[in-house]
Chains A and B, each alone.
Chain A
Amino acid sequence: MKTKPKLVRISIIGLGNVGRGVAEVIRRKQEEITRKYGINLKIVGVADLPGAVVDENGLSEDAIRKFKSGETAEDMTTLDMIKDVEHEIVVETTPTNVENGEPGLTHINTALESDRHVVTSNKGPLALQYGKLMDLAASRGKELKFEASVGGAMPIISLVNDNLAGNGIISIKGILNGTCNYILTRMREEKLPYEHVLKEAQERGIAETDPSNDVAGRDTAVKLVILANSIFDRNVSYKDVEVSGITGITSEALKLADDAGYVIKLIGEVDGGSSGECLKVAPRLVPKDDPLNVEGTLNVATIKTDLAGDITVIGKGAGPIEAASAILSDIIGIYAF
């Protein structure tokens, strides 16, 4: 006898690459998810900068596209939608802002106060107010999940919290920014200077027009803060991270490293703090045969544990569908496990 699938209504705030990716994967996977997990995902509202459109019967692909292109106007403000439209999960995918966390911070606070679960890829609010947000979620009995915010598709938060449950986590070291990894990989392969490769990366859409967040190590630092707070239970913010980036790396340095059996990677490192707390982003020498030596835009992390030893995960750190994959697994995780 089959029970009726549970209806899970979702809103998506921020219809950019990731937000639209989420809408797409929900559409693609809808039947499979219902079959496997017994939940029926329905997008009942989407919001972008101008405001929100809603349909309690579910928004079609076409309706979302028309709203995004401006052919249809908004029905209400984003905050009204979060508060007043009946739904279970708010997916927050607006741009990361590490100065004040907005607009994501207000969206997430409002959603939790309205007793909705939140799944987000937005690093800003987590890097600034992790403790407060988790407390609020707990006091409401709601979930705040953020797998997509660190390492994109690469599982790390739930890997540690679920699959490695019971292990003491000693440290995490990894490459958490695909743009930097791409630049360093190309510099080494082609023996080209930094500026040249950066330009190439921008032309290929791998680096942003303003690449400073990535190449100065700030993006990695923000992700490290999320890991420090969520996995190591530390109470740190972005300003506590010791950061240096990759802009000063020369092709000669890469050659010297290569001659000695190393590559240079931008590594984020965080530990539990018992022996001299570490929270650091810096270019480091990585032995060529170390699992952290992954190429191109890949992300990787080695998790040092007390029982399981070293566990290394590798995956695509960016891309709308990849980030949406992490968001989808967070959504399913709220109901299925």
Chain B
Amino acid sequence: MKISMDIELTDIPGQLVLALKPVSDLGGNILSVLHQRDKKTPSGRIPVQLTLEIEEQGLDRLVERLKERDVNVVRIGKERLKESMMVLLIGHIVHTDLGETIDSIDSTGFAEVVELSLSMPGVDKKSSASVTLSAIGKEELKEALNILERTVSKKGIMIISSI
């Protein structure tokens, strides 16, 4: 299960590593860490946003272990990316910097490309791809689609979205 978690660390070096360790101990995977050293909470703690993949059963134990390490867990968002949609792309998808196309979504922080299948019939022929976008909410998903539309239209790629 994918979850997002807002935690607060004490302002002592080495706290982040300490906080992340239980995740891997419990068989989870860290997907992203947003560590804002310059922002402090009124109580002088440092806020960190985590996105991680962990078995549902492991979540309670993770929270316990974080507390044991003096890490405040202020918010847990289950299924952070809960809205998804598939779109198709047709055109010279790979040779127009596919990495950048995907990045335009992933860099938003609220949406990601979670799946991509590519069909390339021949070198000089157009490829087709199905792309699944996920986002934290309906509005964000719409915005992600807008961003993707703008990105690919500059590259002469056709986009087919769902009704």
Contacts and interface: CB of A to CB of B under 8 A. Distances in A.
B160 A250 contact: no
Contact of A257 (B88, B91, B121, B126): B88
A282 B121 CA distance: 24
State which size class the interface on B falls in.
10 to 19
A255 B163 CA distance: 18
A151 interface: no
A290 interface: yes
Interface string B122-155: 0000111110000000000000000000000000
A249 interface: yes
State which size class the interface on A falls in.
20 to 34
Contact of A173 (B117, B158, B160, B163): B163
Nearest to B158: A248
Contacts of B127: 252
Nearest to B87: A285
B contact face: mostly helix, strand, loop, or mixed: strand
Contact of B163 (A252, A259, A290): A290
Contact of B86 (A250, A267, A285): A285
B113 to A, nearest CB: 15
Contact of A284 (B117, B126, B130, B160): B160
A85 to B, nearest CB: 48
Contacts of A256: 88, 117, 119, 128-130
Interface string A259-296: 11010100101000000000000111111001010000
Among A244, A253, A283, A284, residue most surrounded by chain B Cβ atoms (within 10 Å)? A253
B160 A264 contact: yes
Among B158, B160, B161, B162, residue most surrounded by chain A Cβ atoms (within 10 Å)? B160
Contact of B126 (A250, A264, A292): A250
B148 to A, nearest CB: 14
Nearest to A260: B86
Interface of A: 173, 244, 248-250, 252-253, 255-257, 259-260, 262, 264, 267, 269, 282-287, 290, 292
**Nearest 5 A/B pairs, CB to CB:** A252-B119, A252-B128, A253-B128, A256-B130, A285-B162
21 contacts: A173-B163, A248-B91, A248-B158, A249-B90, A250-B121, A252-B127, A252-B128, A255-B128, A256-B88, A256-B117, A256-B128, A256-B129, A257-B88, A259-B117, A259-B130, A264-B88, A269-B163, A283-B160, A284-B160, A285-B87, A285-B161
